[in-house]
């Protein structure tokens, strides 16, 4: 591990020249990155932004000398601190990975080993490579957990990945990346799984750690307001090419290219609020807990009108996803009842008949982990057609093609695998799979959080169109207030397992606010590089006064 005085801030650390990368689809190689140059200095943070398919993550991985399966680096140079990563052996690169170059993936859930405790995975590289003793590495990991605002930092490392929330797992992955104090960290959408209040804390912690240890970083994101808080410079990418690059303040103030101006101008839709008394789902005074010990839902009452959208918002651990699990029968309530079309819904999934299962569907946050990577789109969408409707053979394929058309993908996608699709396309397939059941209710659990802003708007437009066409009801779980403004008719605000506010969108999003709602709304990042600094300063001042 290099000491801080060995890290000369401002010296060149990474130089990429003429980078070209190809990807394989159906046996044919096609260009993904088409000749990109990049320079990164020690202690500097470079933001990579652009819509889905721009090549951001591919370039980030190439900065490690790595190409994901199905991709190959075909031209260019990658020089890390004097080491040519294109000619370095796999053994040489593996000595760098984790120790001097670390990677924080977008999906922590898919990156952790479910069979090992968090603390063991956090300290693995530092202890394996002899950088620290086990005891010192554990003490350092606890300190990193604390810096990253993880609850119970002394003991949370004893948990397995499935025993913490998605946001907590993402922070644990950041701690794992920082454990060896690497020279370079690739942050690949590291805060997409976080609610806005937690995101503020984590962004501040990551920024402080990067500055304290003079660590260089490539920060890949689709959230322009977030990159404004983190990056010294911003590079805009599109279709595998650089559009423009400039210091952050200059880029935000005066982008030069039309495409960048378009990104800056993207705004969420504004759905006209509509209220209905025709309730399709009613959650009444529901309590729920895991293992009968920790109460996660406390006297929750929520109504979902037919053909309308109710957004459920709140920070990590507020009970949003647990509410979804209670409704779907995955976590039977310990108290209260859930009515579906006026009739009590069986609490446990195993006690519900097939038709009830069909009428309540769920779309998950991560299409990467919810779609079987070995099944074609034909099979993924076709499965619920066979299971719920008995549609097989040619009739099934015709219906799959119709569903693909409804999500604005053509029939050519039918024999592709999920790995051949972009993030936005995968999420569209998840929507089509839910629609195949012909449900009355779809629970959308953070379905746009991992998507860039252009694709987010496309998905939200699609969901609203489908609602108009089918009269489906959405329970939309999200931490993105801009998405709430775009798609909801009514809003439920949750905090520590309780509903603290609910009502029509115009009522909830306009002052005066209850204290917790005000905290959520004030934590939404703004397109101002000073926003995070000013927010933290004002909150610190408020604490002093209190």
pLDDT tens-digit map of 196-246:
887 888 888 888 878 888 889 999 988 888 899 999 999 999 999 999 999
pLDDT in the model for residue 268: 57
Q: In angstroms, rounded to a whole number, what is the distance separating the alpha carbons of residues 32 and 294? A: 48
Task: Give the residue among 449, 505, 453 at the shortest CA–CA distance from 270.
Answer: 505
Q: What is the pLDDT of residue 275?
A: 78
Domain membership of residue 19 as a residue range: 10-97+232-265
**336-387 pLDDT tens trace:** 999 999 999 999 999 999 999 999 999 987 777 889 999 999 999 999 999 9
333 domain residue, yes or no: yes
Is 217 within a domain?
A: no
Same domain, 445 and 380: yes
> pLDDT of 491-525, one tens digit each?
999 999 999 999 999 999 988 888 999 888 888 88
> What pLDDT, in 10s, does the model give residues 470-482?
999 999 998 888 8
Cβ neighbours, 10 Å, residue 17:
14
Residue 119 lies in a domain: no
**Alpha helix (H) ranges present in 90-158?**
90-96, 118-128, 134-147
> 452 with 333, same domain?
yes
CA distance linking residue 424 with residue 407, whole number of Å: 11
| Residue 193 pLDDT greater than 70, yes or no | no
Burial of residue 55, with CB atoms counted within 10 A of its CB: 0-12 exposed, 13-18 middle, 19 or more buried: buried
Percent of the chain with pLDDT over 90: 59
pLDDT band of residue 270 (cuts 50, 70, 90) is low
Quick check: 406 and 470 in contact, CB under 8 A? no
Lowest mean pLDDT among 16-25, 288-297, 448-457, 482-491: 448-457
Tell me the C-alpha distance between 255 and 527, whole Å.
13
Judge if 368 and 323 occupy the same domain. Answer: yes
Domain assignment present for residue 27? The answer is yes
Residues 46 and 73 in one domain: yes
Confidence of residue 3 (pLDDT cuts 50, 70, 90): very low
- The β-bridge relationship of strands 343-344 and 335-340 is antiparallel
> Could you give the CA distance from residue 476 to residue 120 in angstroms, rounded to a whole number?
35
Task: Compute the distance between CA of residue 464 and CA of residue 350 in angstroms, rounded to an integer.
Answer: 31
Question: DSSP secondary-structure letter at 268?
Answer: -
Answer with the one of 221, 243, 265 that is the final residue of a domain: 265
pLDDT over 80 at 316, yes or no: no
Name the more confident of 17 and 171. Answer: 17
The answer to whether the CB of 268 falls within 8 A of the CB of 455 is no
CB neighbourhood size of 241 (10 A): 15
With cut-offs at 50, 70 and 90, classify the pLDDT of residue 266: low
User: How do residues 108-157 score in pLDDT, each as one tens digit?
Assistant: 777 899 999 999 999 999 999 888 999 999 999 999 998 887 889 999 99
Same domain, 314 and 258: no
User: Taking the chain, what is the end-to-end CA distance rounded to the nearest angstrom?
Assistant: 41
CATH number at residue 458: 3.40.50.300
Whether 440 and 381 map to the same domain: the answer is: yes
Q: With respect to residue 460, please indicate whether it lies within any of the assigned structural domains.
A: yes
Are 284 and 355 in the same domain?
A: yes
pLDDT higher than threshold 60 for residue 7: no
Higher pLDDT: 69 or 474? It is 474
Predicted pLDDT at 92 = 94
pLDDT at 8 over 70: no
Q: How confident is the model at residue 171 (pLDDT cuts 50, 70, 90)?
A: confident
Most confident of 23-37, 382-396, 526-540: 382-396
Residues 309 and 332 in one domain: yes
Average pLDDT for the chain = 89
pLDDT at 26 over 90: no
Same domain for 406 and 355?
Answer: yes
Q: What is the domain count for the chain?
A: 2
180, part of any domain: no
pLDDT band at 5 (very low <50, low <70, confident <90, very high): very low
Q: What is the pLDDT of residue 292?
A: 73
Rounded distance between C-alpha atoms, residue 56 and residue 52, angstroms? 8
Model confidence pLDDT, tens digit, residues 47-66: 999 887 789 999 999 999 99
**250 and 304 belong to one structural domain:** no
The C-alpha atoms of residue 100 and residue 234 are separated, in whole angstroms, by 23
Structural domain contains residue 399 = yes
> Cβ distance 185 to 206 under 8 Å?
no
Pair 293, 261 in one domain? no
Phi-psi region of 65 (alpha: psi -120 to 50; beta: other; left: phi over 0): left
In-domain check, residue 157: no
pLDDT over 80 at 4, yes or no: no
Do 29 and 54 reside in the same domain of the chain?
yes
């Amino acid at each position: 591990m290099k000491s801080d005085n060995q890290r000369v801030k401002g010296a060149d650390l990474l130089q990429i020249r003429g980078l070209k990368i190809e990807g394989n689809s159906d046996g044919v190689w096609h260009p993904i990155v088409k000749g990109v140059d990049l320079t990164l200095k020690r202690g500097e943070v470079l933001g990579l932004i652009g819509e889905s398919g721009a090549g951001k993550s591919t370039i980030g991985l190439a900065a490690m000398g790595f190409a994901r399966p199905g991709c190959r680096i075909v031209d260019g140079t990658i020089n890390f601190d004097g080491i040519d990563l294109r000619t370095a052996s796999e053994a040489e690169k593996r000595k760098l990975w984790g120790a001097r170059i670390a990677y924080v993936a977008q999906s922590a859930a898919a990156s952790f080993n479910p069979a090992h405790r968090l603390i063991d995975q956090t300290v693995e590289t530092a202890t394996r490579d002899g950088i620290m003793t086990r005891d010192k590495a554990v003490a350092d990991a606890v300190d990193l957990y604390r810096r990253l605002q993880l609850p119970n930092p002394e003991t949370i490392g004893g948990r397995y990945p499935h025993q913490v929330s998605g946001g907590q797992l993402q922070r644990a992955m950041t701690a794992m990346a920082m454990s060896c104090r690497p020279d370079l960290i690739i942050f690949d959408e590291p805060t997409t799984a976080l609610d806005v209040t937690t995101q503020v804390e984590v962004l501040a912690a990551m920024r402080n750690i990067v500055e304290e240890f003079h660590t260089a970083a490539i920060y890949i994101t689709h959230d322009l307001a977030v990159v404004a808080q983190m990056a010294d410079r911003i590079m805009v990418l599109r279709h595998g090419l650089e559009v423009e690059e400039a210091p952050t303040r200059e880029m935000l103030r005066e982008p030069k290219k039309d495409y960048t101006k378009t990104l800056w101008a993207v705004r969420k839709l504004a759905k006209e609020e509509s209220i209905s008394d025709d309730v399709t789902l009613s959650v009444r005074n529901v309590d729920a807990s895991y293992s009968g010990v920790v109460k996660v839902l406390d006297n929750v009452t929520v109504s979902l009108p037919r053909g309308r959208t109710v957004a459920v918002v709140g920070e990590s651990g507020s009970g949003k996803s647990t509410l979804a699990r209670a409704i779907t029968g995955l976590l039977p309530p310990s108290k209260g009842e859930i009515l579906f079309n006026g009739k009590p819904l069986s609490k446990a999934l195993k006690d519900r008949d097939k038709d009830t299962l069909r009428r309540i569907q769920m779309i998950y946050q991560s299409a990467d982990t919810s779609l079987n990577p070995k099944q074609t789109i034909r099979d993924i969408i076709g499965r619920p057609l066979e299971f719920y409707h008995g549609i097989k053979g040619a009739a099934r394929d015709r219906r799959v093609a119709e569903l693909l058309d409804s999500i604005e993908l053509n029939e050519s996608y039918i024999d592709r695998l999920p790995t051949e699709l972009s993030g936005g396309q995968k999420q569209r397939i998840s929507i089509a799979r839910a629609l195949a059941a012909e449900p009355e209710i779809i629970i959308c659990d953070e379905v746009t959080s991992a998507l860039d802003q252009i694709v987010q708007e496309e998905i939200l437009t699609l969901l609203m169109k489908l609602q108009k066409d089918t009269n489906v009801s959405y329970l939309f779980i999200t931490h993105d207030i801009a998405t709430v403004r775009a798609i909801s008719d009514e809003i439920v605000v949750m905090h520590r397992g309780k509903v603290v506010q609910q009502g029509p969108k115009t009522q909830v999003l306009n002052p005066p606010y209850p204290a917790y709602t005000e905290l959520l709304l004030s934590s939404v990042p703004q397109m101002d590089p000073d926003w995070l600094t000013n927010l933290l300063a004002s909150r610190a001042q408020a604490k002093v006064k209190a």
